[in-house]
Amino acid sequence: MKNFFSKNVDDSVKELNSNMVTGLSPQEAEKRLKEYGHNRLQGAKEKSMLEMFLAQFKDFLVIILIIAAIVSMVVGIMENDGIFDSIVIIAIVIVNAIIGVNQESKANNALKALKEMSSPQAKALRGGEVVKIPSDELVVGDVVMLEAGDYIPADVRLVESVNLKIDEAALTGESVPVEKDSRKILPDDAPLGDRVNSAYMGTVITYGRGKGMVCATGMDTQMGNIAAMLNEEEDEETPLQRKLDSLGKVLGIVCIVICVLIFALGIFQGDELMEIFMVSVSLAVAAIPEGLTVVVTVILAMGMQSMVKSHAIIKRLSAVETLGSTTVICSDKTGTLTQNKMTVVKVFDYKNTYDVTGTGYNKEGEIKGEVPLSKNIEKLIQGAVLCNDATYDIERSLIIGDPTEGAMLVLGEKIGLSKDKLNKEFPRVQEIPFDSDRKLMSTFNDTNGKITMYTKGAPDEVLKRCTHIYKDGEVSVFTEEDKKAIISANSHFAENALRVLGVAYKEVESLDGFEQQENNLIYAGLMCMIDPPREEVKPAVIECKRAGIQVKMITGDHKITASAIATDLGIMSPGEEALEGAEIQLLSDSELKEKVKHVNVFARVSPEHKVRLVAACKANGEIVAMTGDGVNDAPSLKRADIGVAMGITGTDVSKEAADMILTDDNFVSIVKAVEEGRTIYNNIRKVVGYLLSCNIGEILLIFFAMLINLPIPLMPIHLLSINLITDAFPAFALGMEEKEEGIMDLKPRDPNESIIDKKMRVAVIMQSLFLGVGALAAFYVGFRTYAAPFIGVDSVQYEAGLITSRTMCFVALILGELFRAYSNRSERNSIFKMKLFSNSFLNKCVIASFAFLVLAVCVPFFNNIFETAPLNLTQLSEAIVFAVIPTLGGELAKLIIKRMA
């Protein structure tokens, strides 16, 4: 789109080759429609269900699982054991793929929501007549008629504007409707929020009327620019996805190394080629934590359900964990940190300031000050309510019309001066509408047979027209001293980001020449308003700081307003720097990267600036959560590690682009979600540590057995069933642990830190070693007692003894992992300091796993499937004794970790 806002109307008409009187001819419009295309937003090419399904198999851990299935199938065929193992693994892979496709198919309909924001009908001047046409048939050069309540159908250069106000909050983030003036000519670098001679697709007219010339349609509009950014932004992997993928690659390398090492060791010892191949394949199967992906997926899904109770809807599973690692929250101001409800907070007579309690559109509140309320205040409020075109729906706490005028009506209700009551008592007989040049509005009301004119507007304009002043029931001459006091107060209010309006009045003899009556006024007072911060946000900001999370305000509003709100909330300290969009524009990416380290307030920013700011934070290694509710927030929501949209005030576009939606629009809910995310990540660490130590313990078991020339202690079916059933069930339960105390007192973890950090490596090594040694001891005792005596003597007895010894090993390993699950409930606290059975889900999972063990060992049908044998009391007792060893290893690891801290 060319900068038509920097050209005058005549030059714009000439360049667009249009006609202000007749508009385009139907023939010319048809020609341009073919040339420029329809006034629609285009989306990126959507993936088919098949493409989404195949994309799920790109994950390295999934590839490893598929390789494990193929290996298991080969083992099953060569050993004549069937392909049960491989079928189970393939089933896991397919279930994961279905879950992934389901999440992706729901995720991103942002472009559809953007398209729906376009006005379905537009009033255009075609061939000298105003006709209604579908908005997607508008072309560059069309002249469109604009009225209150209309959505702007395309980007237009205004050619006429009469008291025109447009709500651009969804596009720029500015909370107050923008007053438009078609006669203005602006510099080429004027930011979007200051382009008062233009109107943009998707914004809505709240007041007045106008006429505009279409200068951009479809993807060339500001809305189209946002749509293009949404198309360009690809979903990035979250920290957890990257870590699990890295873990999968490590496991894959480990598998290959183990296979090669064991195969070489077997050849060196002179073992049979096929037998040693089977051994190495079995170890490869043991090294893969087949249940890890499923367990993590379910934990995240459960976390999603838990967050719903905290007013947070998570759209993407991995976003649950990402919240827990958040280091920076980039928050929009309007409607997120503030209520998006203009509120009168102070009133001023001529020397005294009074505070107004109560915020938003709730009429509860009062006016109070250090001195008794002067009579000026009632006169001030009466004038503001009568000189007012808004409507206040008390029952629904809703304002219809200009938010600034609505704030005055709410103030009137607080002292019993309702608009309906005053209008009945003092009916309006004439008015002078608001004009952006005069910056005033006046009404003429019948007051007991006399006509009183009430005027409200910009304080400087009101004061210029005042010759007298109302002081506590008496009218006196307006002195320079009075004027200085009022101007000083007005400056003080403005410096504190308050929007100030003045009110004056006078009695008039008649309505003759009423348009020239705005002079010789009597000053009544000033009222100051602001979009107030949410009361609960400040404690939430403090909580974020305590948790090591930076909060940054990124808004389309003015710097003074943004800085005042940020200071009030504790986001910004007095004297700290704030940046405007124009200043951001001049910074290189590297300079901006440095600025965001210490600047927390960014004002008058465009959608492009928001994306750059998020990118700059991420370039510093931060994990960024971006909150927002407008169309202008959508690209940055998508660019952030986690986008957080407002569920009540948020546009459909922002909700579709986000990863999380707050159902109560409450900043506090973000903090709760972060706490939940940290808890979930800690639980995922417990699951990963538990599963890895199980699998490495199995590897060590088989490796040690080979080193001392023992037969393979466990068959592939044993390894797979342990990994999928008796490991997975307790792992699920560990993922459901309640939060540990003080979790929000910790600093965010290093986003580059591996899941398997130094402390976990110590724990995994210790537990794996004790698990492998305990299970091997059970196998060794069983083998020496029940199988070794029959080597070369009785092959049948030998095979029966080997199965018994493997069953003892199987029992010791499973029980050892079940006992150890209770120790794994905390990475720091000893099992003796925990409420051992407080996790009821873990108790149930342990019982379920134990039930599987009983079936596998005691039921003949399952003996055939799992290659096990019933154990007598002596054999079972020996296995149980060795099963305690892994828990001792876990507790010893905690002592070592404490000494490391």
Classified as helix, coil or strand, 504 is strand
- Hey, what are 257's tokens? 């190394």
Instruction: Kindly give the residue spans of alpha helices, DSSP state H, lying in 415-555.
Output: 419-425, 459-464, 480-495, 537-546
CA–CA distance, 677 with 672 (Å, rounded to integer): 9
Please provide residue 304's backbone torsions phi and psi, each rounded to the nearest 5 degrees.
Answer: -60, -45
What DSSP state is assigned to residue 725? I
Classified as helix, coil or strand, 286 is helix
CA–CA distance, 235 with 252 (Å, rounded to integer): 26
Nearest to 573 by CA among 596, 608, 599: 599
> Each residue of 344-381: b (16+ CB within 10 Å) or e?
bbbbbbbebbbebebbbbebebebebeeebbebbbbbb
Q: Given the residues 85, 220, 332, 568, select the one marked as catalytic.
A: 332
Give kind and range of the element (H or E) at residue 330.
strand 328-331
CA–CA distance, 169 with 653 (Å, rounded to integer): 14
Q: Are strands 440-447 and 155-167 parallel, antiparallel or unpaired?
A: unpaired
CA–CA distance, 287 with 378 (Å, rounded to integer): 80
Nearest to 628 by CA among 644, 604, 608: 644
Instruction: Provide the Cα torsion 148, 401, 202, 360; round to 10°.
Output: 180
Give kind and range of the element (H or E) at residue 345.
strand 343-348
Q: Using an 8 Å Cβ cutoff, are 407 and 365 in contact?
A: no
CA–CA distance, 874 with 583 (Å, rounded to integer): 80
Classified as helix, coil or strand, 454 is strand
CA–CA distance, 264 with 252 (Å, rounded to integer): 18
Instruction: Provide the Cα torsion 171, 651, 340, 660; round to 10°.
Output: -120
Classified as helix, coil or strand, 144 is strand
Q: What share of the chain is helix, strand, coil (3-state, %, to 5)?
A: 55, 15, 30
Nearest to 497 by CA among 175, 86, 845, 167: 175
The answer to whether residue 332 is catalytic is yes
Rounded alpha-carbon distances, angstroms, from residue 657 to 22, 109, 608, 875: 41, 7, 15, 60
Q: Which residues are catalytic?
A: 332
